[in-house]
């Protein structure tokens, strides 16, 4: 066997090994992405289950705040619909609506001293706030996973393998710009 044949065989073996390693990396990234989304999904479902309890508790005290309670319920419904549809853009908008309506609800509780001291309300408020923080952390982890996946899928030469085996980029889980802006306290208490 000549030196050229040895080089050709070595090149082919190198390309096959590179293809296998790249394919396995893409599979690993895809599974990490699914796991990251599952973590968010679990937290969203937990919060989804806690919100009716919060609304029921608040309803007992906040007889004149029906509009705020209805907004929380509507936001909950929109989050649920977006999750079922797998639409991350719609979910981001629904999450923004949810955060705003919960912020308004928690701000309004200042006007209801009996509600603020109600043990059930305090526990639910703490639980939902904890879930909100966990969702934000998981959203960051998910978006990091999306970024790693998308870079690998788009970068040359792994993009050739990604196209060959139909690996796709994934959308980021983004919230509306309004959620990133400073909180207008006057509007919350209006």
**Domains of the chain: which residue ranges?**
3-188
**pLDDT at position 88:** 83
Considering only 49-53, 65-69, 155-159, which range has the smallest mean pLDDT?
Answer: 65-69
pLDDT digits (tens, 9 = 90+) for 85-112: 888 888 888 888 888 888 888 888 888 8
Q: How far apart are CA 47 and CA 80, in angstroms?
A: 11
Q: What value does the mean pLDDT of the chain take?
A: 87
Q: How far apart are CA 174 and CA 87, in angstroms?
A: 11
Q: Which residue has the tokens 């293809």?
A: 19
Q: How far apart are CA 186 and CA 106, in angstroms?
A: 14
Q: What would the two tokens of residue 140 be? A: 């960051």
- Judge whether residue 131 has pLDDT over 70: yes
Measured CA angle at 101 (ends 99, 107), to 5 deg: 100
Q: How far apart are CA 74 and CA 94, in angstroms?
A: 9
Residue 157: pLDDT band (50, 70, 90) is: very high
DSSP class of residue 174 equals -
Q: Which of 188 and 16 is assigned the larger pLDDT?
A: 16
In CATH terms, 3-188 corresponds, of 3.40.800.20, 3.40.50.150, 3.30.70.920, 1.20.1440.20, to: 1.20.1440.20
- Judge whether residue 18 has pLDDT over 50: yes
- Judge whether residue 186 has pLDDT over 70: no
Give the phi and the psi of residue 75 in degrees, each rounded to 5. -60, -40
Mean pLDDT of 35-55: 91
- Judge whether residue 13 has pLDDT over 70: yes
Phi-psi label, residue 183: left if phi above 0, alpha if psi -120 to 50, beta otherwise: beta
Residue 41: its H or E element: helix 3-61
**pLDDT at position 64:** 66
- Judge whether residue 170 has pLDDT over 90: yes
Q: Which of 184 and 1 is assigned the larger pLDDT?
A: 1
**pLDDT at position 121:** 87
Mean pLDDT of 18-47: 94
Task: Determine if the pTM surpasses 0.85.
Answer: no
Please provide the DSSP assignment of 103-168 as one string: HHHHHHGGG-HHHHT-HHHHHHHHHHHHHHHHHHHHHHHHHHHHHHHHHHHHSTTHHHHHHHTT--
**pLDDT at position 177:** 59
């Amino acid at each position: 066997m000549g030196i050229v044949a040895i080089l050709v065989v070595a090149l082919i073996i190198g390309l096959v090994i590179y293809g296998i390693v790249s394919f396995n990396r893409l599979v690993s990234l895809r599974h990490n992405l699914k796991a990251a989304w599952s973590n968010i999904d679990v937290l969203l479902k937990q919060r989804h289950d806690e919100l009716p309890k919060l609304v029921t508790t608040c309803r007992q005290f906040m007889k004149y705040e029906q509009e705020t309670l209805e907004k929380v319920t509507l936001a909950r419904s929109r989050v649920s619909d977006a999750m079922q549809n797998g639409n991350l853009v719609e979910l981001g908008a629904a999450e923004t609506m949810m955060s705003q309506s919960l912020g308004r609800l928690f701000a309004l509780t200042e006007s209801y001293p009996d509600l603020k001291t109600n043990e059930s309300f305090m526990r639910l408020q703490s639980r939902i706030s904890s879930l909100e923080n966990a969702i934000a952390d998981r959203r960051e982890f998910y978006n990091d996973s999306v970024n790693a996946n998308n870079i690998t899928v788009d970068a040359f030469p792994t993009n050739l393998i990604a196209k060959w085996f139909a690996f796709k980029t994934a959308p980021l889980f983004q919230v509306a710009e309004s959620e990133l802006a400073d909180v207008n306290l006057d509007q919350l208490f209006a």
